[in-house]
């Protein structure tokens, strides 16, 4: 277990995995959060950004050599909320732009898409992003509207986690998937809808470099 609101926890997790497993075939970045109020982690980052993006970025980078050696694959959970996201490299922490938290959530998912796209240009690792739909989980515990919807539908609103897990496993393990590395899937359909910044190659490179500095890694692999 690892607390993604602590980058030291992520580093410890990576060290444990690398010392325990000589081969790593799959990394599933599925942790996430959406918050109604803005808060910073102990590392000084807005918690949506860190939980949904910085921590998965760091873990992937730390495990990357072992994944490449094993011919492995990375699948990272994204969201169609990326369409509403906007990356501002000078305000990744949303210190000036915070509204309800939806903007930070969308930006974190857009960042994941940009990360996997950039990873595809910098390595040979098989990597995809995946929008699972609205899933019945505790993603946003402090959002009263979502709590009300769940209560009104007796917790049946959204896709069952088991259905999403089956789709996730297929993307992770099906070697017949021939879509280009970096493809964004909407459920199991490739090339899901993305925001305009998602195709900005300069932005993906700049974001990679900025993120590497934030988590204390060199930009070059």
Cβ atoms within 10 A of the Cβ of 201, count?
11
Higher pLDDT among residues 188 and 182, named by residue: 182
Q: Which of 21, 35, 53, 105 is catalytic?
A: 105
What pLDDT does residue 191 have? 83
Cβ atoms within 10 A of the Cβ of 135, count?
14
What pLDDT does residue 154 have? 40
What's the distance, CA 162 to chain centroid? 20
What pLDDT does residue 213 have? 98
Q: What percent of the chain has pLDDT over 70?
A: 87
* Count of positions (residues) in the chain: 221
Q: Binning pLDDT at 50, 70 and 90, where does residue 140 land?
A: low
Higher pLDDT among residues 163 and 185, named by residue: 185
Does residue 127 carry a pLDDT above 90? yes
Backbone phi and psi for residue 126, each to the nearest 5 degrees, phi listed first? -75, 125
User: What are the residue boundaries of the structural domains of the chain, listed by start?
Assistant: 7-214
What pLDDT does residue 151 have? 46
Contact 171, 116 (CB under 8 A): no
The residue among 218, 219, 221 whose CA lies nearest residue 205 is: 219
Does residue 116 carry a pLDDT above 60? yes
What pLDDT does residue 167 have? 82
Instruction: List pLDDT tens digits, range 25-61.
Output: 999 998 788 888 899 999 999 999 999 999 999 999 9
The pair of structure tokens assigned to 115 is 């990360």
- In which residue are the tokens 């402090």 written? 142
What pLDDT does residue 134 have? 64
What pLDDT does residue 125 have? 92
Q: Is 105 a catalytic residue?
A: yes
The residue among 117, 10, 88, 15 whose CA lies nearest residue 54 is: 10
In CATH, 7-214 is 3.40.30.10:
no
Contact 203, 114 (CB under 8 A): yes
What pLDDT does residue 2 have? 85
């Amino acid at each position: 277990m690892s607390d993604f609101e602590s980058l030291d926890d992520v580093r410890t997790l990576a060290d444990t995995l690398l010392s325990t497993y000589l081969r790593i075939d799959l990394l599933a970045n599925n942790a996430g959060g959406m918050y109604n109020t803005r808060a910073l982690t102990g590392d000084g980052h807005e918690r949506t950004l860190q939980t949904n993006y910085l921590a998965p970025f760091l873990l992937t980078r730390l495990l990357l050599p072992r994944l490449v050696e094993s011919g492995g694959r990375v699948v990272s959970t994204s969201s169609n909320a990326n369409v509403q996201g906007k990356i501002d490299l000078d305000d990744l922490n949303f210190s000036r732009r915070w509204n309800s938290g939806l903007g930070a959530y969308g930006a974190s998912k857009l960042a994941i898409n940009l990360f996997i796209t950039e990873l595809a240009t910098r390595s040979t690792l098989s990597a995809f992003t995946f929008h699972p739909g609205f899933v019945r989980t505790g993603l946003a515990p402090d959002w009263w509207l979502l709590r009300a919807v769940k209560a009104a539908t007796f917790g049946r609103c959204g896709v069952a986690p088991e259905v999403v897990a089956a789709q996730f496993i297929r993307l992770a393990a099906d070697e017949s998937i021939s879509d280009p590395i970096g493809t964004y899937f909407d459920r199991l359909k490739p090339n899901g809808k993305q925001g305009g910044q998602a195709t900005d190659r300069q932005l993906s490179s700049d974001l990679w470099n900025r993120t590497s500095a934030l988590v204390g890694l060199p930009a070059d692999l």
